[in-house]
Amino acid sequence: MVKLVSCIILVFILIGQSTGFAQKKDFYMRNLSSAMEILKGKTNENSVINVFNVDGTYYIQGHFEKPFESKPAQLNGIYKLDIYSNFLDYYGKAIFEGNDFVQKIKIEKDSVSFLDYGDDTPRISSDIGKHLTEACLLHPNLIFLLADRNRNSLGMSVDNIFNERILTFTDLVNRKIMVFLSNDNVPIRTEYLEYDKMFGDVLTKYEYSNLTESGHNVVVSKNGIKHFDLNIHNVSRSMKTTNQISDILFEVDTIAKNKYLLKFTETENKLLITTDDTSVYIFEAPAAVSKSVINWCKRKIIGKEIKMIIPSHHHPDHAGGIREYSLANIPVVVPDNMKPYYNQILEATHYLGDNRKINTPKFLPIKNFPYNLITTEEKIILYDVPGNGHSEDYIISWFPKDNILFVGDLTFFEVEEDEFYKSSRAKSVLNVIEKYRLDVKYIYTGWPIAGQRDFGTIENLRKISN
């Protein structure tokens, strides 16, 4: 009886913990959703460079007769920046007591060149995040881009004392940024707290006024002492002149007419692409490479649309990239019993990622194997592979026109034959070949690349079948 009561208590504890976790996640998601709603429509800027001019007063402090004494310098400059690609180009001139002083900041990806006022030569700086953040905080619209880039720390809060709504996030140097919003989600001011060894805790505040599409005013202060009083104007956006497509490098082998094997040496993945008169068919969708594949198809297979994706099985290195295709409304071929799994993956929220949503994923579910995939060029036959010992869902693809069998990672063909090792996975492929009497001449794999032959033969397969 005691054991029974203990078990019942344990069950209630586990249920309570599960409910608690669910409630906590729901709280975080609602909070994040509220923050993301504010960013909606304000962060589609990653294809342009933002440009704006600044002029006004720079209050120089620290080297005068009296403590906290400041003297004004007239400042004008121009900013060009893209927060998403770590690009900043700033040129500023300060006129102080009749003398001109120049400041230049140049950031491209991980390189920073910084020429400060009064210096003769630029120095290399590591303050990438600091410079980018300070540039963004001058402009309310760019604040939202900065928040979007750091959305994994995004949140909303309310100051009940002053009844203020606050968008919060952590910037590129791990400072908590607080953006105080009007009722229509326009930034009124931005604040962050940081530590200085001499002055201790320092509150930096950016206050915005006279906001229009072409410009505004901003006052920057530290612990209540004014540092800048600036006019932001000539706000514009210019298209990037550099190629912003960051493709992962890969090699392409033409293995038959209209058939290509793409080899991603960085991830050790391979995928097969075939085409007909109007369409492109992609076999395998490994994680992290789908954008590169889509870009390659657009550049090299002009005038043909990607018709479907056929992953061999659900593992991330073979199906982890299906989301990028689904976002482009491209259907995914899956065994019918795997549709709920893939549907759950594709309908998941990505607030902390790119925040793109797939409303209704497209699938081509297969209920019965073998399955004939008919193109205008050929018939491709998809087989399942029972008892392979690797994945319950498995599709291998047979191209009888070219005697090619594409098997994913169910077998490997080492360059050195004495390194062949026997496996039940290889045997499961051989079973399919023998059962359906396939005239296989070339067996291509989807993983790995290093130390592997370009393809295997039926003789190679028999050697390693256990």
Looking at the DSSP assignment, which residues form a beta bridge with residue 186?
none
Q: What pLDDT shows up at residue 139?
A: 93
Assessment of whether the complete model's pTM goes beyond 0.75: no
Question: 23: pLDDT confidence band, cut at 50, 70 and 90?
Answer: low
Can you read off the two tokens belonging to residue 56? 């006004």
Mean pLDDT estimate for the chain: 88
Angle of helix 128-136 relative to helix 140-149, nearest 10 degrees, comes to 140
pLDDT beyond 70 at 189: yes
pLDDT beyond 90 at 162: no
The single-letter code of the amino acid at 51 is V
Backbone angles phi, psi at 20, to 5 degrees: -60, -45
Q: How big is the CA angle at 279 (ends 275 and 284), to the nearest 5 degrees?
A: 65
How far is residue 73's CA from residue 95's CA, in Å, rounded to a whole number? Answer: 5
Q: What pLDDT shows up at residue 243?
A: 38
Q: Which residues contact 223 (CB under 8 A, 6 or more apart)?
A: 199, 202, 203
Q: What pLDDT shows up at residue 17?
A: 53
Region of poorest pLDDT, from 45-59, 200-214, 321-335: 45-59
Output b/e per residue, 250-275; b: 16+ Cβ within 10 A.
Answer: beeeebeebbbbbbbeebbbbbbbbb
Region of poorest pLDDT, from 159-168, 188-197, 239-248: 239-248
Q: What are the boundaries of each domain within the chain?
A: 48-239, 251-464
pLDDT tens track for 310-363: 999 999 999 999 999 999 999 999 999 999 999 999 998 887 777 788 989 999
Q: What percent of the chain is predicted at pLDDT more than 90? A: 64
User: What is the fold of 48-239?
Assistant: outer membrane lipoprotein receptor (LolB), chain A (2.50.20)
Virtual CA dihedral for 352, 353, 356, 357, nearest 10 degrees? -60
Region of poorest pLDDT, from 11-20, 143-152, 383-392: 11-20
Question: 46: pLDDT confidence band, cut at 50, 70 and 90?
Answer: low
Looking at the DSSP assignment, which residues form a beta bridge with residue 171?
none
Can you read off the two tokens belonging to residue 421? 């090792």
Averaged over 251-264, what is the pLDDT?
96
Question: 233: pLDDT confidence band, cut at 50, 70 and 90?
Answer: very high
Region of poorest pLDDT, from 47-56, 176-185, 296-305: 47-56
How far is residue 84's CA from residue 90's CA, in Å, rounded to a whole number? Answer: 17
Q: What pLDDT shows up at residue 241?
A: 43
Question: 10: pLDDT confidence band, cut at 50, 70 and 90?
Answer: low
Q: Please state, as a whole number, how many other Cβ atoms lie within 10 Å of the Cβ of residue 458.
A: 17
Averaged over 56-62, what is the pLDDT?
89
For domain 251-464, the CATH architecture is: 4-Layer Sandwich (3.60)
Question: 47: pLDDT confidence band, cut at 50, 70 and 90?
Answer: low
pLDDT beyond 70 at 64: yes
Q: Which residues contact 155 (CB under 8 A, 6 or more apart)?
A: 31, 32, 35, 167, 168, 169
